[in-house]
Amino acid sequence: MTSNRPVTLSQLRDVVADVVAGDAGSAVPGIAVGISLRGDSTFLGYGVTSLEDPLPVTEHTIFQIGSISKTFVALLIARLVDAGRLTLDRPVTDVLDDVTVDPRITVRHLLTHSSGVSGDPMIANAPRLLAGNADDTLAVALCELSERPLDFAPGTTWSYSNAGIMLAAAIIERLEGRAYPDLLAERILHPLGMYHSFTTADEAITHRVAAPHADAWVLRDAGWQRHWQLPSWDVPGGGIVSTASDMVAYGDYLLSGKEPAILLSPQFNRGNPGQHFALAWYLDDIGGQRIAWHDGLTTGYCARMTMLLDQRLCMVVLTNSADGERLHRALDRAVVQAVTGVDPWPQPTRLPIDQADFEGDYDAGIYGTIRVTRAADDELQIEAHMRPLEDGQYRLAPLTAQRVVRISDNALMVVAPEAEAGGVIEYRRGPTGRVTHLRIADRLATKG
């Protein structure tokens, strides 16, 4: 049971300041935090926009929000459903009749990452697809995604799929007869007063923008992005840039109850009691408290948005470093505890582990081959080994080597390195009872 404590924005500001002053905030050049509690808001800015040309970070500083962008697709879909123009169980091919995808895939599958559509083929092949200033519209994505084999049968499990969100945005475009970025601005951003939220670099250039960082330097032309701006086909999945002020306005609006209830209602179980997908949102029940959240990671940025639905509390954390995830987790933990009295991630008990059952190589797609070996007693070592690249492919930075322990019948927990300690990796067993899959970075990795 929760013990909902009376808490004020002033107290939450102190909680945030304490966390940012600790180790979790030390590796991030710039941090913008916004909190809304029952309609009232407060903002905190820390650090600088750029280590080379520093300006103070404020609530109006623009950051890439990455995959939090997916929640805007979900909102537009929810409105179409509410208007009777679409159903969540409508097959994708009923709307996109010129796209060759499995006819079993529904709109609900796309927005709960349960379609089986391979998650990252566009990102993996981005250098080839974007060469020579090529067309980067959603139409290109539809051609690229057609006739690809599924990773699993629709609705049988889940694996994070950027491609599925592209298909959902294409459905919006087809039904509305207009480009997704235009609909996004007209239907959501402008009505909510989000005038510092954009989808192109041209729009952002006259505002204060946080530069992307890796460790202690500014990133330039790194990774798969076409310079700073993401390609148009990834605007639905990760291409919005925004501010703490705008994103808190968005979160507070979602908490007002003015949008269809299906948006933040459980749609697909993620494999554990109390863990679901709503429409694009992760939805967890922690100690009786409903928490909707989504994070975002792009080259040089890490963002997170968390909403305590029953408390009408929203927190947005934007950082200009890919190392911001540890800070997000620490802030989530501290704020949830301050509001509810419940630790969202209590220290679990280590369980015995059959190390031989887990040992082997797992195919993790764009993340390469994940090799699991024995470590100390009751521990495993997990390392990523990247494959040789084909022409025109992009390589992600390898995942950090991790030591993990078993904490339940379907989960491992990271114990090292310290910066990632507490992270959970789900595992699955096949019909014979042997381990067949790990869920790495929310993608299903198959044992060879």
Q: What is the mean pLDDT of residues 307-317?
A: 97
187 pLDDT band, cuts 50/70/90, is very high
pLDDT tens string 216-250: 667 665 554 556 777 888 899 999 999 999 999 99
The answer on pLDDT for 282 being more than 90 is yes
**What are the start-end ranges of the E strands in 155-288?**
213-214, 217-218, 241-242, 268-269, 275-277, 282-286
**Please, where are the H alpha helices in 198-282?**
201-204, 235-238, 244-254
Question: Residue 177: helix, strand or coil by DSSP?
Answer: coil
Continuous segment of H or E residues that includes residue 70: helix 70-82
Whole-prediction pTM value? 0.92
Alpha carbons 44 and 251: distance in angstroms, whole number: 17
Contact 66, 60 (CB under 8 A): no
Specify the pLDDT at position 25: 87
Separation of CA 264 from chain center = 16
The answer on pLDDT for 327 being more than 70 is yes
Look at 27-31, 85-89, 258-262, 346-350 and tell me which has the smallest mean pLDDT: 346-350
Residue 103: CB atoms within 10 A of its CB come to 11
Alpha carbons 43 and 194: distance in angstroms, whole number: 16
CA-to-CA dists, residue 409 to 126, 201, 352, angstroms: 38, 46, 11
The answer on pLDDT for 86 being more than 50 is yes
The gap between the terminal CA atoms of the chain, to the nearest Å, is 42
Question: Residue 422: helix, strand or coil by DSSP?
Answer: coil
What are the DSSP calls for 239-258, one per residue?
Answer: --EE-HHHHHHHHHHHTTT-
Alpha carbons 199 and 246: distance in angstroms, whole number: 14
- Position 119, amino acid: G
347 pLDDT band, cuts 50/70/90, is confident
Q: What is the mean pLDDT of residues 49-58?
A: 95
Specify the pLDDT at position 397: 60
Rounded percentage of the chain residues whose pLDDT exceeds 90: 70
Alpha carbons 228 and 303: distance in angstroms, whole number: 16
Alpha carbons 11 and 309: distance in angstroms, whole number: 19
* Domain residue ranges of the chain, discontinuous segments joined by +: 7-344, 355-447
Residue 230: CB atoms within 10 A of its CB come to 27
CATH superfamily of 7-344: DD-peptidase/beta-lactamase superfamily (3.40.710.10)
Q: Within 13 A of 253's CA, how many CA atoms are on the CB side? A: 16
Find the Cα–Cα–Cα–Cα dihedral 33, 37, 39, 45, rounded to 10°: -20
The answer on pLDDT for 1 being more than 50 is no
Alpha carbons 190 and 306: distance in angstroms, whole number: 22
pLDDT tens string 404-437: 999 999 999 999 887 788 888 999 999 999 999 9
Q: What is the mean pLDDT of residues 105-111?
A: 99
The answer on pLDDT for 393 being more than 80 is no
Contact 343, 289 (CB under 8 A): no
pLDDT tens string 249-276: 999 999 999 999 999 999 999 988 899 9
Alpha carbons 337 and 315: distance in angstroms, whole number: 14
The answer on pLDDT for 389 being more than 70 is no
